[in-house]
A and B are shown apart, each in its own frame.
Chain A
Amino acid sequence: MGEDRVETLNRTQNPREWLATVLVWGAATLVTAIFSWLLGDILWHGLSHISWAFLTAPPENAGRRGGIGPILVSTALILGVCLAVSLPIGIGTAILLAEFTSAQSLFGRVTRRSLDVLAGVPSIVVGLFGNAFFCKALGLGFSILSGGLTLACMVLPILIRSTEEGFRAVPVSYRLSAASLGLSRTTTLLHLLLPAAVPSLLVGLVLGIGRAIAETAALIFTSGYVDRMPESLLDSGRALSIHIFDLSMNVSGGDANAYASSLVLVVLLLAINGTASWLANYGLHRKIVTI
């Protein structure tokens, strides 16, 4: 934005104009100040505790001492389950919605509407559902598998929306040329459309990962609290966000490690968001075509 900005008169001697300018600048300053306070606080208190040992050691004394090694492993496993399930379903749905259903078709409309609702469902409610469905009805218990599957439900709308946009952005001429050459729809999709849509698929993927590792409420009663090193996907595993919650609420004297864990989580998320916006700015400008 802003390349051909319209310059309006800036009459600050007029009291109402002066007030507007003060309010707008004041709001921006306030937002910046709060953000710096929050990040600065976490950086200031967390940085001194971060070390290689902290990242790899198991927690001791309910997390007051020791590190977050097993917790990082559990977090990665939950994320892995989440992506292994949500990626195929998400990409498949996005392809169907973008390529093979018209805007008026009932199936497309219903699917899209239900995904819109799903995107808004509070994470604690998804957690309730995960507990009732994955833990109890399917008998998976409090486990990394239940947690990952619950997260997959939450990540799908983001993943689908971004991937669908990627497919819609591929020029119609690609499909027409492929059809005139007699290529099958499958070939067209795999060799022509999919490579062209990869950048926005990646943006969706990265945003989905961000949403998944930030999530806490949906995991409390699906993947559980156990902070040991998980031995299988059916073990309970504590995600990093739950570790922070537990340390700050239930463990007195856990603040130092809670700060350090928060810093790890924030740095992970900043890296993820940075990747997403880099992909969006850089990757989306050039369409990669391989055949």
Chain B
Amino acid sequence: MTPSSSNTSFRWPSDRLLLWLLHGAASIAGAIVILIAAFLILEALPVLRHISPLRFFTDSSWHPAEGLYKLTPMLWGTLLAMAGSVLIATPLGIFSAVFCHYYAPQALARPYRRLIELLAGIPSVVYGFWGLVVLVPLIGEIHPPGPSLLAGILILTIMILPTIALMADASLANVPQHYLRGAAALGLPRGAAIRGVVLPAAKSGLFTGVILETGRAIGETMAILMVCGNVVQTPSSIFDPIRTLTANIALEMAYALGDHRAALFVSGLVLMTMIIALTIAAEWISRGRR
């Protein structure tokens, strides 16, 4: 719906200047992603040139100073923390959107929605700090040491919950009212109507929400860095400390040089690839909706 693009010509010199300026601005904005990818690759090249990419999986450990670059423990850390938090946050988020739309009394639904919006705005470093001083000692009492995969999963859950809750809220709002009226007319009770009619109708919006929260969980750095203990190991239990790819970059970037620095950019590339794959998946789902 842009009525202006072809109807009237750009007669005025000022209009041509304007269009030129706007194209300039948009080119810069559009080029940032390409620039990011280009610089990640450029900085990763030194190590990729003389090390086969396979060695990031087959090396015996992560000791960059000795030329050992095994990324798998960190990859496991990222994937496990992500999987755990998405598994808990998704039902919680969907339930809380259902609460807003179908269960809460009018007087409660609005403040509850505002609360979720506020949660979405709290910075990750504050979540991390709270996790560090409140959650980690609590977990330490149940099962030492405290900083652990579990702490990471719980903090991530709280952080990505608003994303899925707000997305689910928006997609429930888009379900046509007559679907629910039909269900009510058939005598379906509330829970059954939501399970059988509303949620299937809102399916693609919910999937998009899950993809968005997955992206946030993969990319989160500060909170994870503060509560996970940052030991490079593949965890054998939920109480083991872990280190994620993002935390690894944040921890070692300050002093990394040469191949070590390049290896950190490789892990940046891995993260970027995951995010692009998720964006494509989201695009694919929303295209299916139309």
Chain B associates with chain A: yes
A residues apposed to B, CB below 8 Å: 1-2, 4, 6-11, 14, 16-17, 19-21, 23-28, 30-32, 34-35, 37-38, 41-42, 88-93, 95-103, 105, 107, 110-111, 114-118, 120-129, 131-133, 137, 153, 156, 160, 168, 172, 175-176, 179, 184-186, 189, 210, 213-217, 220-221, 241-242, 244-245, 248-249, 255, 258-259, 262, 265-266, 269-270, 272-273, 277
Q: Which residues of A contact B191 (CB under 8 A)?
A: 16-17, 19-21
State which of B22, B95, B112, B221 has its C-beta within 8 Å of the C-beta of A100: B22
Are A124's CB and B12's CB within 8 A?
no
Q: A187 → chain B, closest Cβ, in Å?
A: 8
Residue from A7, A248, A258 whose CB has the most chain B CB atoms within 10 Å: A248
Are A8's CB and B189's CB within 8 A?
yes
Q: B167 → chain A, closest Cβ, in Å?
A: 14
B122 an interface residue at 8 Å Cβ cutoff? yes
A sample of 13 more A-B contacts (CB under 8 A), given A41-B130, A245-B128, is A1-B101, A9-B190, A17-B189, A121-B33, A125-B268, A125-B271, A128-B43, A179-B7, A210-B121, A217-B124, A262-B126, A262-B129, A266-B126
Are A122's CB and B219's CB within 8 A?
yes
Q: Which residues of B contact A26 (CB under 8 A)?
A: 95
Give a binary string over B153-189; 1 marks a CB under 8 Å from any A CB, 0 the rest. 0000010010001000000010001001101100111
Are B173's CB and A1's CB within 8 A?
yes
B99 an interface residue at 8 Å Cβ cutoff? yes
Q: B146 → chain A, closest Cβ, in Å?
A: 14
Q: A157 → chain B, closest Cβ, in Å?
A: 8
Q: B13 → chain A, closest Cβ, in Å?
A: 9
Q: B219 → chain A, closest Cβ, in Å?
A: 3
**With A35-B115, A176-B3, A185-B15 as contacts: A122 and B189 at CB distance below 8 Å:** no
B residues apposed to A, CB below 8 Å: 1-8, 10-12, 14-15, 17-19, 21-36, 39-40, 42-43, 91-92, 95-96, 98-104, 106, 109, 112, 114-119, 121-130, 132-134, 158, 161, 165, 173, 177, 180-181, 183-184, 187-195, 215, 218-222, 225-226, 246, 249-250, 253-254, 264-265, 268, 271-272, 275-276, 278-279, 283
Are B123's CB and A269's CB within 8 A?
yes
Q: How far is the CA of A129 from the CA of B37 in the complex (A)?
A: 8
Are A186's CB and B15's CB within 8 A?
yes
**With A27-B99, A92-B22, A125-B268 as contacts: A9 and B189 at CB distance below 8 Å:** yes
Q: CB-nearest residue of chain B relative to A125? A: B268
List 29 A–B pairs whose Cβ atoms lie within 8 Å, in order of A's numbering. Answer: A1-B100, A7-B184, A8-B180, A17-B189, A17-B192, A24-B98, A27-B95, A31-B119, A32-B112, A90-B25, A93-B25, A107-B23, A110-B30, A115-B29, A118-B36, A121-B275, A122-B220, A124-B249, A125-B40, A125-B271, A128-B264, A133-B39, A153-B32, A185-B4, A185-B10, A185-B15, A241-B125, A245-B129, A273-B118
Q: Which residues of A contact B24 (CB under 8 A)?
A: 92
Q: Which residues of A contact B129 (CB under 8 A)?
A: 244-245, 248, 258-259, 262
Q: Which residues of A contact B95 (CB under 8 A)?
A: 23-24, 26-28
Q: Which residues of B contact A186 (CB under 8 A)?
A: 12, 14-15, 17-18
Q: Which residues of B contact A153 (CB under 8 A)?
A: 32, 36
Are B180's CB and A6's CB within 8 A?
yes
Q: CB-nearest residue of chain A relative to B226? A: A249
**With A14-B189, A28-B95, A111-B30 as contacts: A245 and B4 at CB distance below 8 Å:** no
Q: A102 → chain B, closest Cβ, in Å?
A: 5
Q: CB-nearest residue of chain B relative to A157? A: B29
Are A120's CB and B279's CB within 8 A?
yes
State which of B22, B32, B265, B272 has its C-beta within 8 Å of the C-beta of A114: B32
**With A175-B4, A185-B8 as contacts: A221 and B40 at CB distance below 8 Å:** no
Residue from B3, B33, B112 whose CB has the most chain A CB atoms within 10 Å: B33
